Amino acid sequence: MDITILGATGRTGRFLIEEALRRGDGVTAIARRPERIMAPGVRVVAGDVEDPASIAAGVSHDTTLVSALGTDHAGILTLGARAAVAAAPARLIWLGAYGTGESARAAGPVADKLGALLGDRLPDKVQADGIILAAGGTVFHAGLLSEDAAGPVRRTVRLTQAPPLDLAVSIGRATVAAAMLDEAHDQRFPGEVVVPLVA
């Protein structure tokens, strides 16, 4: 399968690269600092979401674009979502945050605290998710992320099945990356917000 990774040099992006290569996928990595990608067998493309043409140049129309774009500053995710949609990949899979936007109610009371922590980045996250969902993409709302190795058993659930957000419990970035790539291969949740969990 052809996978294009946006935000490839970030803390979750590197796990997406590793997992996609492990599965035998063809991998294109888009990054502002392409020199930081040292993985053999990866097609590396310099791209910045503030220059949508640079993103489009790295995206083929038969690829699945998987984004682990981070929030350097308010507005960056909305720019990234617009650039991703404009590049017109076959599918879009986007990493968001559990307890924001559509998942705020499912996450429970902790969502208010999360919103306060995110400050001016919260509207950016919500708007970016909306852009991806409107284009038929899948948005993963992960809880607190850790550097743990991928869990041996994982599952992805709809918001109606998601447990309340517990800030004392984390999920490994590697597990989230694997769940996102499960969706790239299986295409179970187009146009939905879903939550990755360790089973």
CATH code, domain with 85: 3.40.50.720
**Of 71, 185, 73, 87, residue with least CA distance to 138:** 185
Contacts of 24 (CB under 8 A, 6+ apart): none
Q: How far apart are CA 32 and CA 87, in angstroms?
A: 17
Confidence of residue 43 (pLDDT cuts 50, 70, 90): very high
pLDDT in tens, 50-109: 999 999 999 999 999 999 998 777 799 999 999 999 999 999 999 999 999 999 999 998
Task: Give mean pLDDT, residues 114-142.
Answer: 90
Each residue of 141-154: b (16+ CB within 10 Å) or e? bbbbbeeeebbeeb
Range(s) of the domain holding residue 65: 2-198
Confidence of residue 23 (pLDDT cuts 50, 70, 90): very high
pLDDT of residue 118 exceeding 80, the answer is no
Helix (H) or strand (E) run with residue 179 in it: helix 173-186
What does pTM read for this prediction?
A: 0.95
Task: Give mean pLDDT, residues 112-137.
Answer: 87
pLDDT in tens, 138-186: 999 999 999 988 877 899 999 999 999 998 889 999 999 999 999 999 9
Number of folded domains that form the chain: 1
- pLDDT for position 93: 98
- pLDDT for position 97: 92
